[in-house]
């Protein structure tokens, strides 16, 4: 009986992993919001809503993420000049999943978290003036 329960537990674990991977790779993920802390100033506006500061047609506001079932990760935007720095000789960026954490090979220190139909990611950057900004990105499955 113990062997049967162990076998069922292993099968359930493996099927859940495949289901989550399929959920991730079967959809495109569009940016829904980006919150910056502390508030940032752009032009004459100061806000914690980074997408509002950048505008609805900006690269930040049109970002779409794709996770292929073969482990390749892509991120793109359709704003003017968004993908200007594409390097055709660069290695593909890959993704792996550990539980709810999605790790991207190009930035393993800032994993995504998958919960329901939302992906979230937190990153930090330091401005030239020394201010440390924290960005929380939220993506929604399409």
Please check whether residue 30 is in contact with residue 142, taking contact to mean a CB–CB distance below 8 angstroms.
yes
| H or E stretch covering 21 | helix 2-25
pLDDT at residue 18, as a whole number: 60
pLDDT at residue 90, as a whole number: 75
Tokens of 9: 């537990």
pLDDT at residue 24, as a whole number: 87
Bridging pattern class, strands 64-67 and 101-104: unpaired
In 3D space, the residue among 135, 73, 142 whose CA is nearest the CA of residue 110 turns out to be: 135
pTM of structure: 0.80
Please check whether residue 58 is in contact with residue 26, taking contact to mean a CB–CB distance below 8 angstroms.
no
DSSP 64-126: EEEE-TTSBEEEE--STTTTTT--TTSPPPBEEEETTEEEETT-TTS-EEEETTEEEEEEEEE
pLDDT at residue 9, as a whole number: 43
Tokens of 85: 């720095």
In 3D space, the residue among 127, 118, 90 whose CA is nearest the CA of residue 105 turns out to be: 90
* pLDDT by residue, tens only, the chain of 142 residues: 544 444 344 444 444 456 668 878 889 999 999 999 999 999 899 999 999 999 998 889 999 999 999 999 999 887 666 766 656 667 889 999 998 899 999 999 999 999 988 999 999 999 999 999 999 999 999 8
């Amino acid at each position: 009986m113990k062997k049967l329960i162990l076998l069922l537990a292993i099968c359930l674990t493996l099927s859940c992993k495949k289901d989550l991977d399929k959920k991730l790779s079967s959809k495109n993920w569009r940016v829904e919001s980006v919150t910056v802390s502390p508030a940032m100033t752009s032009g004459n506006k100061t806000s914690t809503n980074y997408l509002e500061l950048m505008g609805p047609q900006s690269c930040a506001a049109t970002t779409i993420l794709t996770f292929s079932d073969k482990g390749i990760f892509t991120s793109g935007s359709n704003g003017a000049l968004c993908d200007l720095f594409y390097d055709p000789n660069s290695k593909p960026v890959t993704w792996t999943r550990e539980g709810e954490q999605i790790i991207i090979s190009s930035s393993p220190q800032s994993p995504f978290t998958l919960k329901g139909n939302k992906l979230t990611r937190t990153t930090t950057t330091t401005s030239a003036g020394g201010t440390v900004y924290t960005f929380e990105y939220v993506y929604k499955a399409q």
